[in-house]
């Protein structure tokens, strides 16, 4: 067997073969099943895109109608999940709530049948249908309100905004939110997708696959960055403060949230579209005090770090869009998860098609042939050695 060089973060190491999506990080191109994301954002809808990702081709009208019908029929939350959510602390992060709910959904479908197409189809529909309801329900329940029932006459994006804000959304707002979901639906083998694939490779159930991916998406270096961007803009406060803030980050080697990407070395194409969507919303519903700060931030970071290929990523402008849609800051990452479920499920299905359990190797850096120290001696040794120095 060829032993490869160790690369921290597996940079540049292929961990799978996939036909789902493709990124050209130098040219700033993202394709889902060979179709440019710009075209999908303009002409498609999130559910049609989810179908494309999961089933491998664009649906015809009947297939799309049936898929949408199935999803509408499975949007309601199980009352036991709602009861479970009542016990969640209101101060808990919504990503933790979502991870728990996604895993709990598996309790209702514990008879796994991964070789049965109907089981796969049902799991896809249930997860896509119920995840938005879970996110909206947690938001209302932590405020002490009852969850709002989904509305069958509203589409996927419009229904989510309705369940969240307890009023029917403006059509432009709903359409823009749908485009946001399309843009976040899939992105090759990123951390959460890899986590989904590793979990899938053990042949566990899809609810565990999605729960494990949600947990991975939550971190600030991944999906959690969108929330951190808004916190950062708030902390900076004024356009004048941007340059000293960036100087300080660079000097102290702090990451600037919403910038940089393992694959893109130019501006993320999704950031370009999201910025335009934010501007459309500002035009219709009024501006956002943070936008000028964001523009200056992009300008200064590009000037200072562009040479290293550090440019805005998908998380930089998405928060400004979500704020205008009435989505609270700590729901930005759950909203990312609502969209990314499509990509995770596509990879789950692809993984099952040619499965081999993930079991990489490691380079051991520990010691060998250590003697077992009896407890009495151990205490004396450790008393003399500071905690940080113990191996």
Q: Are 238 and 293 in contact (CB under 8 A)?
A: yes
CA 12-16-18 angle, 5° bins: 110
Contact map string, positions 265 to 304, toward ligand CMC, x by CB under 6 A: ----------------------------------------
221 binding ligand CMC? (CB under 6 A): yes
Helices (H) then strands (E): counts for the chain = 17, 3
260 binding ligand CMC? (CB under 6 A): yes
Q: How far is the CB of 257 from ligand CMC (least distance, A)?
A: 5
310 binding ligand CMC? (CB under 6 A): yes
Q: Which one of the listed residues 261, 268, 288, 347 is annotated catalytic? A: 261
User: Which residue's CB is nearer to ligand CMC, number 270 or number 349?
Assistant: 270
**Segment near ligand CMC (CB under 6 A), from 67-75, 121-129, 249-257, 367-375?**
249-257
Q: Is 261 a catalytic residue?
A: yes
Q: Which one of the listed residues 205, 268, 288, 315 is annotated catalytic? A: 315
In whole angstroms, what is the distance from residue 259 CA to residue 127 CA?
Answer: 30
Dihedral of alpha carbons 106, 110, 114, 115, sign? negative
**Segment near ligand CMC (CB under 6 A), from 42-50, 235-243, 250-258, 274-282?**
250-258
Q: SS in 3 state form for 352-370?
A: HHCCCCCCCCCCCCCCCCC
Burial of 316 (0-12, 13-18, 19+ CB in 10 A): buried
Residue with tokens 């808990």: 92
Q: Count residues contacting ligand CMC (CB under 6 A)?
A: 20
Q: Which two tokens stand for residue 179?
A: 């485009």
Residue with tokens 């991944």: 222
Q: In what order do the strands lie in the sheet with 21-24?
A: 21-24, 29-32, 35-36
**Segment near ligand CMC (CB under 6 A), from 13-21, 107-115, 219-227, 359-367?**
219-227
Among 9, 91, 286, 307, binds ligand CMC (CB under 6 A): 9
Q: Are 72 and 309 in contact (CB under 8 A)?
A: no
Q: Which two tokens stand for residue 159?
A: 């229904």
Among 255, 378, 381, 385, binds ligand CMC (CB under 6 A): 255
Among 74, 262, 265, 276, binds ligand CMC (CB under 6 A): 262
Q: How far is the CB of 347 from ligand CMC (least distance, A)?
A: 15
222 binding ligand CMC? (CB under 6 A): yes
**Segment near ligand CMC (CB under 6 A), from 122-130, 215-223, 233-241, 287-295?**
215-223
Among 308, 359, 384, 390, binds ligand CMC (CB under 6 A): 308
**Segment near ligand CMC (CB under 6 A), from 110-118, 126-134, 145-153, 306-314?**
306-314
Q: How far is the CB of 344 from ligand CMC (least distance, A)?
A: 13
Q: Is 22 a catalytic residue?
A: no
Length of the chain: 391
Number of residue whose CB is nearest ligand CMC: 260
In whole angstroms, what is the distance from residue 351 CA to residue 36 CA?
Answer: 23
Burial of 370 (0-12, 13-18, 19+ CB in 10 A): exposed
Around Cβ 185, how many Cβ atoms within 10 Å? Answer: 26
CA 265-269-271 angle, 5° bins: 100
Please give the positions annotated as active site. Answer: 261, 315
The residues that touch ligand CMC, with contacts defined as CB under 6 A, are 9, 190, 221-223, 225, 255-262, 305, 308, 310, 313-315
């Amino acid at each position: 067997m060829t032993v490869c060089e160790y690369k921290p973060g597996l940079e540049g190491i292929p961990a799978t073969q996939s036909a789902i999506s493709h990124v050209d990080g130098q040219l700033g191109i993202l394709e889902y099943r060979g179709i440019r994301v710009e075209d999908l954002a303009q002409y498609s809808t999130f559910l049609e895109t989810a179908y494309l990702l999961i089933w491998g081709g664009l649906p015809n009208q009947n297939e799309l109608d049936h898929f949408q019908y199935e999803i509408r029929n499975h949007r309601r939350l199980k009352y036991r999940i709602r009861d479970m959510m009542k016990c969640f602390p209101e101060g808990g992060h919504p990503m933790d709530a979502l991870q728990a709910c996604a895993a709990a959904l598996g309790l209702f479908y514990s008879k796994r049948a991964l070789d049965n197409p109907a089981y796969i189809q049902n799991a896809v529909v249930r997860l896509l249908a119920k995840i938005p309801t879970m996110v909206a329900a947690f938001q209302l329940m932590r405020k002490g309100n009852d969850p709002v029932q989904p509305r069958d006459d509203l589409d996927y994006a419009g229904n989510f905004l309705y369940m969240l804000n307890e009023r029917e959304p403006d059509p432009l707002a709903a359409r823009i939110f749908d485009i946001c979901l399309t843009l976040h639906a899939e992105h090759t083998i990123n951390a959460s997708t890899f986590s989904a694939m590793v979990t899938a490779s053990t042949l566990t159930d899809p609810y565990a696959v999605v729960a494990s991916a949600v947990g991975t998406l939550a971190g600030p270096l991944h999906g959690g960055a969108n929330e951190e961007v808004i916190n950062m803009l708030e902390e900076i406060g004024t356009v004048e403060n941007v340059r000293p803030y960036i100087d300080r980050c660079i000097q102290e080697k702090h990451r600037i949230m919403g910038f940089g990407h393992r694959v893109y070395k130019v501006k993320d194409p999704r950031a370009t579209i999201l910025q335009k969507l934010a501007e459309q919303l500002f035009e219709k519903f009024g501006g956002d005090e943070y936008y000028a700060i964001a523009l200056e931030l992009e300008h200064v970071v590009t000037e200072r770090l562009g040479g290293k290929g550090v440019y805005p990523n998908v998380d930089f402008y998405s928060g400004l869009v979500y704020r205008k849609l009435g989505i609270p800051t700590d729901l930005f990452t759950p909203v990312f998860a609502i969209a990314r479920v499509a990509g995770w499920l596509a990879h789950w299905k692809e993984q099952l098609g040619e499965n081999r359990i993930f079991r990489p190797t490691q380079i051991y850096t520990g010691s060998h042939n250590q003697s077992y120290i009896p407890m009495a001696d151990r205490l004396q040794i450790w008393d003399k050695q500071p905690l940080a120095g113990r191996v």
